[in-house]
């Protein structure tokens, strides 16, 4: 077993060797510009791009004509939200989203507010879920877009996408979902789920960084977007710029593998995740699960440890790469906006750790991580006077603190 152990698969993933191998020819031998129409270098590149488009579409149940390549999910999110807002402004200027979304969605919505749009930020429940009833209650005659993520990147919670999609379709409102964490992990079908726009990113599914895609529904209804990048009119005019052919080929291959191996991989990740959780719970008390026990990504485990501070814990398990809910935006010491939106208290938010399990995680690694976490939490708690009081049976909520507690 090699150290350090990577358990941060929601942040990014290593490129699958099969993906890398598929990409390599497109850097040197087949380096053509997919927009070159007059020679075989261009034709070969275009063929590779169109093959990848099919592979991406197959993963999500769309058609290849509905796939727009972007530099990743952040760009796809900007294009979807700003593109709809601009295109449908005459119809209305109201957008619905949730407080637990990725910053790329939240900051794009904030940008719209500066331009005079109105945004409703739905508050998720304690498990980070948004219900279709909440969306229904927030819909207005001037609502032009609902944007709710499929799977949360911090706590792994899955939203009721089909219900929200069905509702939006009934009301004639465009529905966009950030499926960056969901595709290749849980079944996604833009037809059955009534999704109009969907983004995904290669580096979250064992493809390269800097490439992703936006699905844009072409019929029932046809969704139109105002381009956010002007230029040569690539990607049906929605995203100009010479295509990143090796990246696109890699994204396509990653989607193909993701589709073919989804069931087996989800099962494997879930088993490892559940093993990690049960080992930790068996040895440690005062552990809270952040997120939903059932509606959850198979490879995600987000736990808070009472009487422990997240940063100290991360330092205590320094040969295991995980994320903490307290240092998400590295410079600030603010706890994560996702945990805050779920009303996880400040202390528990600061003690939260996200374990991300993925394709290359082994049982041996999970056991090593479990041992390390158990040992580190015990050691930190031994130094905690609060833990000592709790062990003695003192109810900390009833303690009269001196000073500014
Ligand atoms: C990683 C991530 C993004 C951003 O994707 P990039 O391709 O890195 O820009 C957006 N949303 C979610 C849910 C993510 O996990």
273 and 296 inside one domain: yes
Alpha-carbon 331 to chain mean position: 21
Contact predicate 369/5, CB 8 Å: yes
80 and 124 inside one domain: yes
229 and 253 inside one domain: yes
Residue 175 included in any domain: yes
pLDDT score of 398 more than 80: no
Distance 364 CA to ligand 1 centre (A): 29
Ligand 1 atom closest to 104 (CA): 10
296 and 194 inside one domain: no
Q: pTM for this one?
A: 0.95
Q: What is the mean pLDDT of residues 147-157?
A: 98
Residue 235 included in any domain: yes
pLDDT in tens, 213-243: 999 999 999 999 999 999 999 999 999 999 9
Name the β-bridge partners of 197: 176, 216
Q: Which of 260, 283, 303 is the last residue of a domain?
A: 260
Alpha-carbon 187 to chain mean position: 15
Q: What's the confidence (pLDDT) of residue 335?
A: 86
Nearest to 129, CA basis, from 290, 317, 358? 290
99 and 39 inside one domain: yes
Distance 329 CA to ligand 1 centre (A): 14
pLDDT score of 346 more than 80: yes
Residue nearest to atom 12 of ligand 1 (CA): 180
pLDDT in tens, 292-330: 999 999 999 999 999 998 888 999 999 999 998 765 445
Q: What is the mean pLDDT of residues 154-173?
A: 98
| Residues whose CB is less than 8 angstroms from the CB of residue 353 and which lie 6 or more positions away in sequence, other chains included | 302, 303, 304, 305, 310, 313, 314, 322, 323, 324, 325, 373
Nearest to 286, CA basis, from 387, 357, 215? 387
Residue 21 structure tokens: 């191998």
Ligand 1 atom closest to 204 (CA): 1
Q: What's the confidence (pLDDT) of residue 329?
A: 46
pLDDT in tens, 205-221: 999 999 999 999 999 99
**Top-confidence residue, 396 or 80:** 80
Residue 311: phi and psi, rounded to 5, are -65, -40
pLDDT score of 98 more than 50: yes
Residue 401 included in any domain: no
188 and 100 inside one domain: yes
Nearest to 57, CA basis, from 220, 256, 260, 265? 256
pLDDT in tens, 29-66: 999 999 999 999 999 999 999 999 999 999 999 999 99
Q: Which of 232, 260, 288 is the last residue of a domain?
A: 260
Q: What's the confidence (pLDDT) of residue 403?
A: 60
274 and 230 inside one domain: no
Residue 397 included in any domain: no
Q: What is the mean pLDDT of residues 355-371?
A: 98
36 and 177 inside one domain: yes
Contact predicate 181/152, CB 8 Å: yes
188 and 72 inside one domain: yes
Contact predicate 68/236, CB 8 Å: yes
| CATH code (residue 58) | 3.40.640.10
Residue nearest to atom 15 of ligand 1 (CA): 153
Distance 73 CA to ligand 1 centre (A): 5
Residue 403 included in any domain: no
Domain of 74 in residue numbering reads as 17-260
246 and 312 inside one domain: no
Residue 333 included in any domain: yes
| CATH code (residue 339) | 3.90.1150.10
Q: What is the mean pLDDT of the chain?
A: 95
pLDDT above 90 covers what percent of the chain? 89
Q: What's the confidence (pLDDT) of residue 404?
A: 53
Residue 402 included in any domain: no
- As a whole number of angstroms, the distance between CA 62 and CA 67 comes to 8
Q: What's the confidence (pLDDT) of residue 397?
A: 74
For the chain, what is the domain count?
2
Residue nearest to atom 9 of ligand 1 (CA): 74
Task: Give, for 251, the enclosing helix (H) or strand (E).
Answer: helix 245-283
Residue 338 included in any domain: yes
Distance 196 CA to ligand 1 centre (A): 19
- As a whole number of angstroms, the distance between CA 67 and CA 347 comes to 43
Name the β-bridge partners of 303: 289, 353
105 and 232 inside one domain: yes
Ligand 1 site residues, Cβ closer than 6 angstroms: 72-74, 102, 104, 149, 153, 178, 180-181, 201, 204, 212
Residue nearest to atom 10 of ligand 1 (CA): 73
Q: Which of 242, 260, 278 is the last residue of a domain?
A: 260
Distance 106 CA to ligand 1 centre (A): 12
Nearest to 338, CA basis, from 161, 8, 102, 149? 102
Ligand 1 mutation pick, 80, 181, 213, 302, max ligand atoms within 8 A of CB: 181
Annotation says 328 is catalytic:
yes
pLDDT in tens, 374-384: 999 999 999 88
Q: Kindly name the residue from 109, 199, 255, 328 that is annotated as catalytic.
A: 328
Q: What's the confidence (pLDDT) of residue 393?
A: 82
Nearest to 335, CA basis, from 372, 309, 366? 309
Ligand 1 atom closest to 102 (CA): 11
253 and 273 inside one domain: no
Name the β-bridge partners of 297: none
């Amino acid at each position: 077993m090699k150290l350090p152990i990577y358990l941060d698969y929601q942040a990014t993933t290593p490129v699958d060797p099969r993906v890398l191998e598929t990409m390599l020819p497109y850097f040197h031998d087949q380096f053509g510009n997919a927009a070159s129409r007059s020679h075989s270098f261009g034709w070969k590149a275009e063929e590779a791009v169109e093959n990848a488009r099919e592979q991406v579409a197959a993963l999500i149940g769309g058609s290849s004509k509905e796939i727009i390549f972007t530099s990743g999910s952040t760009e796809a999110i900007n294009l979807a939200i700003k593109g709809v807002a601009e295109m449908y402004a005459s119809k209305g200027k109201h957008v619905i989203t949730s407080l637990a979304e990725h910053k790329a969605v939240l900051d794009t919505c904030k940008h719209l507010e500066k331009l005079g749009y109105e945004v409703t930020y739905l508050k998720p429940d304690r498990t980070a879920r948004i219900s279709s009833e909440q969306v229904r209650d927030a819909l207005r005659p001037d609502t032009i877009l609902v944007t709710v993520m499929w799977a949360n990147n911090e706590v792994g919670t899955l939203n009721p996408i089909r219900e929200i999609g069905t509702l939006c379709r009934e009301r004639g409102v465009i529905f966009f979902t950030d499926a960056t964490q969901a595709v290749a992990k849980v079944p996604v079908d833009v037809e059955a789920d009534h999704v109009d726009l969907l983004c995904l990113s290669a580096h979250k599914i064992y493809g390269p960084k800097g490439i992703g895609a936006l699905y844009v529904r072409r019929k029932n209804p046809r969704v139109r977007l105002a381009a956010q990048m002007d230029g040569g009119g690539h990607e049906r005019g929605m995203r100009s710029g010479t295509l990143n052919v090796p990246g696109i080929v890699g994204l396509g291959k990653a989607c193909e593998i993701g589709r073919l191996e989804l069931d087996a991989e989800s099962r494997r990740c879930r088993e490892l995740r559940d093993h990690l959780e049960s080992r930790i719970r068996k040895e440690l008390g005062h552990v809270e699960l952040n997120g939903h026990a059932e509606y959850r990504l198979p490879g995600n485990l987000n736990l808070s440890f009472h009487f422990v501070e997240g940063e100290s814990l991360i330092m205590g398990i320094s040969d295991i790469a995980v994320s903490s809910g307290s240092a998400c935006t590295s410079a600030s010491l603010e706890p994560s906006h996702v945990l805050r939106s779920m009303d996880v208290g400040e202390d528990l938010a600061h003690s939260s750790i996200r374990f991300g399990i993925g394709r290359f995680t082994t049982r041996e690694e999970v056991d090593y991580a479990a041992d390390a976490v158990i040992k580190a939490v015990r050691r930190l708690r031994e130094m905690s006077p609060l833990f000592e009081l709790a062990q003695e049976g003192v109810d900390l909520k009833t303690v009269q603190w001196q000073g500014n507690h």
